[in-house]
Structure formats: structure tokens, C-alpha cells
Amino acid sequence: MNRKSLISIMDYSKEDIFKILDLAEEFQNNPKQRLLENFVIASLFFEPSTRTRLSFESAIQKLGGKVVGFSEAANSSVAKGESLKDTILTVSNYSDLIIMRHPIEGSARYASEISSTPIINAGDGANQHPTQCLLDLYSIRKTQGSLENLNIFLVGDLKYGRTVHSLLMAMSDFNPSFNFVSPQQLRLPQEYKDFLNEKEIEYYEHDKLDENIKYADIIYVTRVQKERFSDPVEYEKVKNAYVLKNKMLEETKDNLRILHPLPRVNEIDIDVDANPKAYYFKQAENGVYVRMALICHILGVK
Ligand code: CP
């Protein structure tokens, strides 16, 4: 693997993570720094995206860098049958860094093994989404003052939700308690439970989103990932399993913040948006600062 690539959040030490979060804070306070004027960065999105792609591109442009790439495979030579290997070998000649989202789990790791330039995994299937994880950590630290000893409720599609997988792995270094709320069909995969068991992290599984949320510091809600279901009937059965409504937040802690990687479908009612505990749009904004910091860290300009 190219040693600077970010494929899984586990590629980074606690020290790396804190460096990026601190740098992100610096960019939030002073975003006008032309640090990427000599760099071309490729943005290869084989799957749809709004926040990840646009916040990366915004981060690069704010820092004076250039972006090349495509936002759907149909606009590239993949449509003519070109392999991922050939695409990466070609684009690594045109750029200093490749940001890639791809539907196949492990595709980003593979790309990092053949690329001469670093790869940032912008989401590989249901596997990992490490840059979302960094901005989630940034948002949690910013709202709670610390990452330590938090009671975190992860709600929704815990099977296919890659942001949840990255987040629970990263938070496991900070003595959390986890509450996993999901339908039986969308339970957290066993490999992640094994990971938590090995690290002796406390967790509970629930079918219902109920009054237990009054103990939460963070409620992290996820969309049911329609695109990962092979059977549409199965999706229909669980698509509206949970809807967080404003009334449900009455007894919750003052420091509670509601996070969601977005896009939202129905799982957070729009009546929550005006509640000061709703943080998901600010969370998306934080993505720009965190991605500025990550790119500068990888390219060694900060
Ligand atoms: N959070 C996230 O990955 O959003 P997009 O799919 O819009 O990039």
C-alpha cells in the first residue's frame, strides 16, 4: 500500500487523527491558505455523492489546488470496459493524489496497492468511509469537548452503513459505551462485534428507539442503504424502521447532539432540524475543514 494512503480509519494512529482534527480547527479559523497551488488532485467517483465529492472539491479549490476527475463511471472509459487497475495506473500519472469512491468493498485497498500516488478512500461499498469518520470525530469533539467516555447511540442500518463501521472502530480508543438500534435484518455485522469484544468495549443492541435515548451524548442516525439490498421487498420492510421526531428529544441531555452522515431520507423528521441539538448540517460543513486538513497532511504541506 502507498504509505500515505487512507483506506481504513485503522490506518491512522490516535496521533495522526488528533493532528488532522487540530489542523481542521486551524482551517476553520483561517481557511484562506493557498497551500495546494502546485497540486493536481483526482476525484474519481464511481458511485453517487453530494457531500463527499463536493466538500473535497471545495476544500481543494479553497486551498488553490486543481481538480480533475469524473462524478460517474459512465463519463469515463470504464463505460468502454476499462478495468479499475488500468484507470488507476493512468490517473496516477495525471495527479498527486487520488480520491476514490467505488461500490466494491476492498477496491480502495487494491487501488492503493497499485497506485504510485496516495489514495483516499471516499467510501468502498458497505465497508469503510474513513474521511466521514474523521469529520464525525471532529464534530463529536467540537460539540462534547472531548472524545472520551461518551454514550453513543448508533441508529438505523448498521449492517450496510459504512460510516458506522468506521466510527465505531475509531471511537473504540476513547472508552465509549455503544447502543446499537436497528431492525434484526440490519444488525451490526459479527466482525465489528468481535472487534469490540476484543477491546472490551461495552455495547447493547436494541430493536426500538425508545426512552433510553435520554442517556445519550450522541445519537448518530443512518439511512437504510437502499442501494445495497439485492431484494427490494426486503428494503420495503425496513425502510421506515425508525423516525426520530422532535417530541422524542424532550427528556434528553443538554449536551446531546444528533449526527447523521446524510443524505437523509425519512429517518429524522424535519421537525428536528430547528432543535439546537440537531447538528447534521454543521457536521457536513465540518467536512470541508477536515478534508482540507487531511489533504495537506497526506501531501506534506502542513
Ligand atoms: N456522507 C456522505 O458520504 O454523503 P454523500 O454520499 O453525499 O457523499
pLDDT tens digits for range 46-87:
999 999 999 999 999 999 999 999 999 999 999 999 999 999
**What is the distance in A from the centroid of ligand 1 to the CA of 53?**
8
CATH code: domain of residue 265: 3.40.50.1370
Q: Which amino acid is at 46?
A: F
Residues 151 and 254 in one domain: yes
Residues 102 and 212 in one domain: no
The answer for residues whose C-beta is within 8 angstroms of residue 63's C-beta and 6 or more apart is: 33, 34, 35, 36, 292, 295, 296
Q: 2 pLDDT exceeds 60?
A: no
Residues 150 and 275 in one domain: yes
Q: How confident is the model at residue 152 (pLDDT cuts 50, 70, 90)?
A: very high
Evaluate whether residue 142 is within a structural domain. Answer: yes
Provide the 3-class DSSP secondary structure of residue 173: helix
pLDDT tens digits for range 3-53:
689 999 999 999 999 999 999 999 999 988 999 999 999 999 999 999 999
The answer for residues whose C-beta is within 8 angstroms of residue 175's C-beta and 6 or more apart is: 148, 149, 201
Which atom of ligand 1 lies nearest, measured to the CA of 54? Answer: 8
Residue nearest to ligand 1 atom 7, measured at CA: 50
Residues 172 and 93 in one domain: no
Residue nearest to ligand 1 atom 4, measured at CA: 51
Evaluate whether residue 3 is within a structural domain. Answer: no
Q: Decide if 166 contacts 128 (C-beta within 8 A).
A: yes
State if residue 286 touches ligand 1 by the CB under 6 angstroms criterion: no
State if residue 227 touches ligand 1 by the CB under 6 angstroms criterion: no
**What is the distance in A from the centroid of ligand 1 to the CA of 84?**
22
Evaluate whether residue 86 is within a structural domain. Answer: yes
pLDDT tens digits for range 230-289:
888 888 888 888 999 999 999 999 999 999 999 999 999 999 999 999 999 999 999 999
State if residue 170 touches ligand 1 by the CB under 6 angstroms criterion: no
**What is the distance in A from the centroid of ligand 1 to the CA of 262?**
6
State if residue 262 touches ligand 1 by the CB under 6 angstroms criterion: yes
Evaluate whether residue 181 is within a structural domain. Answer: yes
Arithmetic mean of pLDDT over the chain: 95
Evaluate whether residue 4 is within a structural domain. Answer: no
Ligand 1 pocket test target in 46, 49, 134, 223 with most atoms within 8 Å of CB: 49
Residues 222 and 119 in one domain: no
Q: 1 pLDDT exceeds 60?
A: no
Domain that holds residue 228: 130-284
pLDDT at 85: 98
State if residue 275 touches ligand 1 by the CB under 6 angstroms criterion: no
Evaluate whether residue 2 is within a structural domain. Answer: no
Give me the percent of the chain exceeding a pLDDT of 70. Answer: 99
pLDDT at 235: 87
Evaluate whether residue 1 is within a structural domain. Answer: no
Residues 151 and 164 in one domain: yes
pLDDT at 225: 87
Task: Give the long-range contacts of residues 189-193, CB within 8 A, separation 24 or more.
Answer: 189/158, 189/159, 189/165, 192/165, 192/168
Q: C-alpha angle with apex 74: 69 to 80, nearest 5 degrees?
A: 105
pLDDT at 215: 97
Residues 220 and 122 in one domain: no
pLDDT tens digits for range 181-221:
999 999 999 999 999 999 999 999 999 999 999 999 999 99
Residues 211 and 183 in one domain: yes
Residues 111 and 220 in one domain: no
What's the CA gap between 265 and 243, in Å, rounded? Answer: 10
Q: How confident is the model at residue 228 (pLDDT cuts 50, 70, 90)?
A: confident
pLDDT at 270: 97
State if residue 106 touches ligand 1 by the CB under 6 angstroms criterion: no
Residues 136 and 280 in one domain: yes
The total domain count for the chain is 2
Residues 51 and 63 in one domain: yes
**What is the distance in A from the centroid of ligand 1 to the CA of 251?**
30
Residue nearest to ligand 1 atom 6, measured at CA: 49
- N- to C-terminal Cα distance for the chain? 22
Distances (CA, A) of 74 to 45, 81, 111, 123: 10, 10, 19, 18
State if residue 51 touches ligand 1 by the CB under 6 angstroms criterion: yes
The answer for residues whose C-beta is within 8 angstroms of residue 87's C-beta and 6 or more apart is: 44, 76, 77, 78
pTM, entire model? 0.95
pLDDT at 3: 63
pLDDT at 158: 95
Q: How confident is the model at residue 227 (pLDDT cuts 50, 70, 90)?
A: confident
> Across residues 106-114, what is the average pLDDT?
97
Residues 143 and 266 in one domain: yes
**What is the distance in A from the centroid of ligand 1 to the CA of 1?**
25
Provide the 10 A C-beta neighbour count for residue 14.
11
Which atom of ligand 1 lies nearest, measured to the CA of 284? Answer: 1
Evaluate whether residue 60 is within a structural domain. Answer: yes
